[in-house]
Amino acid sequence: MTQAQLAQGNAPLLAVRDVSVVFGGIIALNGVSFDMHKGAILGLIGPNGAGKTTLFNCLSRLYQPSSGDILMEGSSILTRPPHRIAEIGIGRTFQNVALFPNLSVLDNVRVGTHARTSSDIISDSLKLAWVRRTEADVNKKVHEILDYLDLNDVAHTVVSGLPFGTQKRVELARALAADPKILLLDEPAGGLNHEEVHVLGDLIRRIRDERHMTVLLVEHHMGLVMSIADHVVALNFGRKLAEGTPAQVQADPDVIKAYLGSKDQ
């Protein structure tokens, strides 16, 4: 990618280049490529076992691709350890909710700011002035996010006792606390009812518009993806099946075949 292209502003924020993942003899991902542009909501769909979560885990560095590259703003993320992904602006939520169950909502979201702050154990133990200032900034930001996601009522509640839907919102709050440029959402609609899915769709769009984020949405819930995504990538058996606007992908014969089976089967 040349400097000129970057200057024009049409360079992708995140580029997935020919990524393959092999587990033992099983090819979980086979040469998948796509781009994510700033401010877009990209939906990643596919039947069970299509490789959606595998791709997702490559993006957050839990898996190492066997070949291919992933570029964030032009530089590869594959040399970074998993704990140094948050600092370059990639935030995520987990499919089955991975909160810190014994901590309060407040503390869960505070941990979200870890990548954006610094401290050492000596200064923390002595509660030095600069540590107190950082904590004050953290608290201000955390309360702003709790306000934004309407979580103030449960701020001091331990998360393990909260309803599933609320836990999902806490996880979203924790991801937002790191000020990510890209928000990776792994099946945010899983376990939610029809009404809640609708609210979630509005929320994701609002986050994109008001907090200027780019969203990658991995989702089973077709209705949600088709209503809020700008661009959709469909996977099946580890390969990219189709890519385009929601309408294009929905009309794609290969996608219909993957989901419903074909007539001549």
Partner 1 sequence: MSAVEDVVTEAPAVEAVPKRAMTLGLGTSLVVLVALLIVPLFVKNFIIFQLTMLLIYGLAVLALNILTGGSGQFSLGQSAFYAVGAYTSAILIEYTGMNYALTLPIAGLICFAFGFAFGQPALRLSGVYLALATFALATAMPQILKLGFFEHWTGGVQGLVVTKPDAPFGLPMSQDMWLYYFTLAITIGIYIASVNLLRSRSGRAFMAIRDNEIAASAMGVDVALYKTLAFGVSAGITGVAGGLGAIAVQFVAPDSYTILLAISLFLGMVVGGVGWLPGSFVGAAFIIFVPNIAEGISKGLSGAVFGVLLFLVIFLVPHGARQVAIVAQQLIGKLKK
Among 4, 7, 121, 129, binds partner 1 (CB under 8 A): 121
Q: Which is nearer to partner 1, 166 or 250 (CB)?
A: 166
Among 14, 15, 16, 92, binds partner 1 (CB under 8 A): 92
Residue that the structure tokens 């979201």 belong to: 109
Beta-ladder partners of 12 = none
- The answer to the question of residue 145 lying near partner 1 (CB under 8 A) is no
Among 18, 84, 144, 147, binds partner 1 (CB under 8 A): 84
Report, in Å, the least distance between residue 226 CB and partner 1: 25
> What is the identity of the amino acid at 192?
L
- Nearby residues of 22 by Cβ (< 8 Å), 6 or more positions away: 28, 66
Among 19, 30, 53, 189, binds partner 1 (CB under 8 A): 53
Q: Which is nearer to partner 1, 99 or 234 (CB)?
A: 99
> What is the identity of the amino acid at 12?
P
- The answer to the question of residue 131 lying near partner 1 (CB under 8 A) is yes
Q: Where does this chain touch partner 1 (CB under 8 A) — which range of 65-73, 119-127, 187-195, 206-214?
A: 119-127
Query: What is the rounded CA–CA span in Å between residue 141 and residue 137?
Result: 6
- The answer to the question of residue 126 lying near partner 1 (CB under 8 A) is yes
Q: Where does this chain touch partner 1 (CB under 8 A) — which range of 1-9, 81-89, 220-228, 237-245?
A: 81-89
- The answer to the question of residue 196 lying near partner 1 (CB under 8 A) is no
Residue 44 to residues 51, 116, 137, Cα–Cα distance (Å): 10, 28, 35
Among 67, 102, 139, 248, binds partner 1 (CB under 8 A): 102
Residue 104 to residues 28, 45, 161, 225, Cα–Cα distance (Å): 37, 33, 10, 31
Whether 88 and 80 have beta carbons less than 8 Å apart is answered as yes
- The answer to the question of residue 178 lying near partner 1 (CB under 8 A) is yes
Report, in Å, the least distance between residue 218 CB and partner 1: 13
- The answer to the question of residue 54 lying near partner 1 (CB under 8 A) is yes
Among 22, 27, 78, 103, binds partner 1 (CB under 8 A): 103
Report, in Å, the least distance between residue 187 CB and partner 1: 12
- The answer to the question of residue 125 lying near partner 1 (CB under 8 A) is yes
Which residues, numbered 152-171, are part of the site for partner 1 (CB under 8 A)?
Answer: 156, 158
Based on the number of CB atoms within 10 Å of its own CB, is 205 exposed (0-12), middle (13-18) or buried (19 or more)?
A: middle
Residue 120 to residues 126, 127, 177, Cα–Cα distance (Å): 10, 10, 20
Residues that bind partner 1 (CB under 8 A): 23, 28, 53-54, 57, 60, 62-63, 81-87, 92, 94-96, 98-104, 107, 110-112, 114-117, 119-121, 124-127, 131, 134-135, 138, 156, 158, 174, 178
